[in-house]
């Protein structure tokens, strides 16, 4: 006899486990299936984000940042140390313990909220049924009133650089280097490539980034992308734009990469190579042919604005559907879907989803770029404020970068914010809150910001939109 649930979630990442918890909180009998197997060989929840994505990469970014500070910046503060070294094995162990704590935390939250956690693989069948296969067990049938698909994404592989066991790796392999490579190549100058490249560059690797696009960080505002490229280059990262990889050869424990750059065929030899050219939705083995769920031309599950698929009672969220591949986007879609299943009129504002790159300095943005507004013919004003003029940033030796706010020229409503600098992700979130409530630049300018804080740069940038900045010269006289 098959098991029955009100809601079955397939995928236990930040979209799936959040959807399951919220559904259970609303009184729905809920199960969550996750196929992930941890390093100890046991099933765990948390998906890519907790196991090999957001969390472990930030642990390594934090360690490498502290190492770089101790090695190069302490003397500026009058702090003298002996030789600074890093124990890679201990660094990786710390990362693994953080992952273990968080994945165990998800299991604990399931118990606390009454979610049935199922370790194994789920497949969507016709008639709102799920074929559940436990790890090492026999398949069984589960019936559900509603199914939420949250299977996430996996890295793209490219034919010119097929993965090997330990020399050509994807983002997962780049978290497990047991020593610092002398020369590290990175294919792709996106979020993942820049973060992982930064980790090993800080620890001593000579990093070369091969990016096929002619513009650095083409999704970001032009002012931010130019500033970020300048700062990464200053740090020692060799960024090659318009470099299209054509082949690779592994020989004698190294990899030689060939690529087209400026119309010329070139090559570089590295100790390790990270392939970070993006991610694709994961749907392999997920959907029975007659289940009624359809994919679009790019392989994403087709959904409407409320994440309902073409099959009644089946929903899909996160990386497996349209929109940015961001953990926080997946989580909020999970909450929205759980509440809609319960009968609420929940909605999600896709116009104010922030993006963050956790390099040093951080890069963050929300809303529209100046480039987009120009292309759309939208009238706008810009306010910018450099961290070099912020007292707290000076005190912390973090003066690179700026805050940029764009607002409608007629209504003053904030249309976007673009930040490169200290704590950019947290500062951007302040503007996200303002934009969610339709605030104007003047609204932020009238708020009281604590002094001295780096967040005062947000205040000054908002004031600068209307030529009222106090701690920098305004571009034109105040009217």
> How is residue 451 written in tokens?
């002094």
> Does 118 score more than 80 pLDDT?
yes
Report the pLDDT averaged over residues 251-275: 97
What's residue 476's pLDDT?
64
What's residue 297's pLDDT?
96
Q: Which CATH class is domain 352-465?
A: alpha beta
What share of the chain has pLDDT > 70, as a percent?
99
CB 320 within 8 A of CB 122: no
pLDDT digits (tens, 9 = 90+) for 187-229: 999 999 999 999 999 999 999 999 999 999 999 999 999 999 9
> How is residue 425 written in tokens?
């992700």
Report the pLDDT averaged over residues 241-264: 97
What's residue 467's pLDDT?
96
Instruction: Please give the radius of gyration of the chain, using alpha carbons only, rounded to the nearest integer.
Output: 24
**Residues identified as active-site:** 451
pLDDT digits (tens, 9 = 90+) for 39-76: 999 999 999 999 999 999 999 999 999 999 999 999 99
Bond from prior residue into 361 cis (ω within 30 degrees of 0) = yes
pLDDT digits (tens, 9 = 90+) for 413-430: 999 999 999 999 999 999
The pLDDT-based confidence of 479 (bands split at 50, 70, 90) is very low
Domain spans of the chain, in order of start: 3-155+280-348, 168-277, 352-465
pTM score of the predicted model: 0.96
pLDDT digits (tens, 9 = 90+) for 388-415: 999 999 999 999 999 999 999 999 999 9
Burial string for 209-241 (b: 16+ CB within 10 Å, else e) reads: bbbbeeebbeebbbbbbebbbebbeebebbbbb
Which strands sit side by side in the sheet containing 168-169, from one edge to the other? 168-169, 272-275, 183-187, 206-211, 238-241
Q: Do domains 3-155+280-348 and 168-277 have the same CATH topology?
A: yes
What's residue 477's pLDDT?
54
The pLDDT-based confidence of 267 (bands split at 50, 70, 90) is very high
What's residue 70's pLDDT?
95
Mean pLDDT for all residues in the chain: 97
Report the pLDDT averaged over residues 145-154: 98
Contacts of 411 (CB under 8 A, 6+ apart): 440
168-277, what's its fold? FAD/NAD(P)-binding domain (3.50.50)
3-155+280-348, what's its fold? FAD/NAD(P)-binding domain (3.50.50)
CA atoms within 13 A on the CB side of 167: 16
> Does 432 score more than 90 pLDDT?
yes
Contacts of 14 (CB under 8 A, 6+ apart): 46, 47, 49, 50, 54, 318, 327, 328, 330, 331, 334
What's residue 392's pLDDT?
98
């Amino acid at each position: 006899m098959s098991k029955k649930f009100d809601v079955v979630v397939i995928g236990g990442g930040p979209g799936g486990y959040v959807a399951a918890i919220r559904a259970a909180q609303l009184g729905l009998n809920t199960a969550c299936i996750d196929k992930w197997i941890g390093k100890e060989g046991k099933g765990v929840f948390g998906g890519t984000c907790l196991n090999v994505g957001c969390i472990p990469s930030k642990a390594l970014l934090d360690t490498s940042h502290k190492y770089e500070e101790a090695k190069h910046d302490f003397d500026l503060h009058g702090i003298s140390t002996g030789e600074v070294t890093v124990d890679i094995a201990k660094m990786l162990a710390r990362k693994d313990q953080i992952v273990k704590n968080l994945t165990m935390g998800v299991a604990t939250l399931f118990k606390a909220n009454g979610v049935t956690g199922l370790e194994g693989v789920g497949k969507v069948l016709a008639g709102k049924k799920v074929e559940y296969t436990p790890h090492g067990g026999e398949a069984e049938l589960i019936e559900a009133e509603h199914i939420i698909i949250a299977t996430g994404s996996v890295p793209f592989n490219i034919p010119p650089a097929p993965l090997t066991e330990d020399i050509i790796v994807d983002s997962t392999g780049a978290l497990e280097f047991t020593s610092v490579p002398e020369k590290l190549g990175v294919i792709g100058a996106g979020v993942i490539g820049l973060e992982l490249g930064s980790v090993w560059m800080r620890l001593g690797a000579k990093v070369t980034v091969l990016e096929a696009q002619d513009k650095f960080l083409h999704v970001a505002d032009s002012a931010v992308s130019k500033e970020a490229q300048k700062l990464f280059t200053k740090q020692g990262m060799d960024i090659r734009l318009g470099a299209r990889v054509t082949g690779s050869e592994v020989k004698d424990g190294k990899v030689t990469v060939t690529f087209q750059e400026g119309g010329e065929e070139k090559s570089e030899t590295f100790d390790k190579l990270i392939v970070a050219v993006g991610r694709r939705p994961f749907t392999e083995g997920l959907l029975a042919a007659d289940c009624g769920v359809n994919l679009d031309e790019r392989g994403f599950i087709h959904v409407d604005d409320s994440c309902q698929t073409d099959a009644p009672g089946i929903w899909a969220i996160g990386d497996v559907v349209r929109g940015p591949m961001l953990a926080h986007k997946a989580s909020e879609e999970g909450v929205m879907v759980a509440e809609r299943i319960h009968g609420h009129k929940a909605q999600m504002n896709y116009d104010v989803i922030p993006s963050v790159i956790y390099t040093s300095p951080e890069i963050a943005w929300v809303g529209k770029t100046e480039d987009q507004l120009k292309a759309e013919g939208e009238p706008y004003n810009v306010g910018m404020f450099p961290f070099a003029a912020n007292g707290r940033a000076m005190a912390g030796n973090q003066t690179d970068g700026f805050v940029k706010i764009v607002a409608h020229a007629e209504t003053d409503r904030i249309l976007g914010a673009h930040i490169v600098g200290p704590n950019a992700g947290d500062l951007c979130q302040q503007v996200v809150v303002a934009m969610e409530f339709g605030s104007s630049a003047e609204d932020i300018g009238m708020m009281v910001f604590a002094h001295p804080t780096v967040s005062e740069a947000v205040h000054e940038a908002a004031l600068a939109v209307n030529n009222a900045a106090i701690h920098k010269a305004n571009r034109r006289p105040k009217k």
